[in-house]
Amino acid sequence: MKKLITVILVVGLLAGMTTFALAKGTAKEAKGILDKAVAYLKANGKAKAFPAFDDLKGQFVKDDLYIYVLDQKGVVVSHGANHSLIGQPLIDLKDTDGKKFIKAIVDEANTKGKGTMDYNWTNPQTKKVEPKSVFFEKVGDLIVVCGYYKTK
């Protein structure tokens, strides 16, 4: 009986961790994080903002939501989920349908100042290609981005 209870508790704990690990942010949350990050960058500058954005457990990361920042050439200058992308030129990066979405973000940010962009991307949590949408806003010569996966 003790073993059965232990097994049930372990299975329940693992199921709970799996649910937590696959927690998904919403459009409203992504927009809120973007707005907060833009305000933070404007108030504190790059020297303070980038370390805050890059903090994997910081205030700009929630579930599968995070901030990344691009320069005018599409180079990642800050990334809240994958530090190996910092310094990488992604201007020619294509989604699974061949769309150069980083170039489209940079172009639209330069013409409109802010906006949204939809593309298809492999979700690192599910390992499946899913529709993704990002909000972005230009701050000086930088573009601050936060996105979410649109699937249920």
pLDDT digits (tens, 9 = 90+) for 64-85: 999 999 999 999 999 999 999 9
Q: What percent of the chain has pLDDT over 70?
A: 85
pLDDT of residue 8: 32
Sequence-distant (6+) residues with CB within 8 A of 33 are 25, 60, 62, 65, 66, 67, 146
CATH number among 3.30.450.20, 2.40.50.140, 2.170.120.20, 3.40.50.300, domain 24-149: 3.30.450.20
DSSP reduced 3-state for 106 = helix
Paired with 146 in beta bridges are 67, 135
Cα torsion 70, 29, 64, 101 to 10°: value is -40
pLDDT at 7: 30
The 3-class SS string of 44-80 reads: HHHHHHHHHHHCCCCCCCECCECEEEECCCCEEEEEC
Say if residues 85 and 101 touch (Cβ distance below 8 Å). no
Q: So what's the pLDDT on residue 22?
A: 63
CB atoms within 10 A of CB 4: 8
> Hey, where are the domains in the chain?
24-149
Beta-bridge partner residues of 116: 135
Residue ranges, the chain, pLDDT below 70: 1-22, 152
Count of Cβ atoms closer than 10 Å to residue 42 Cβ:
12
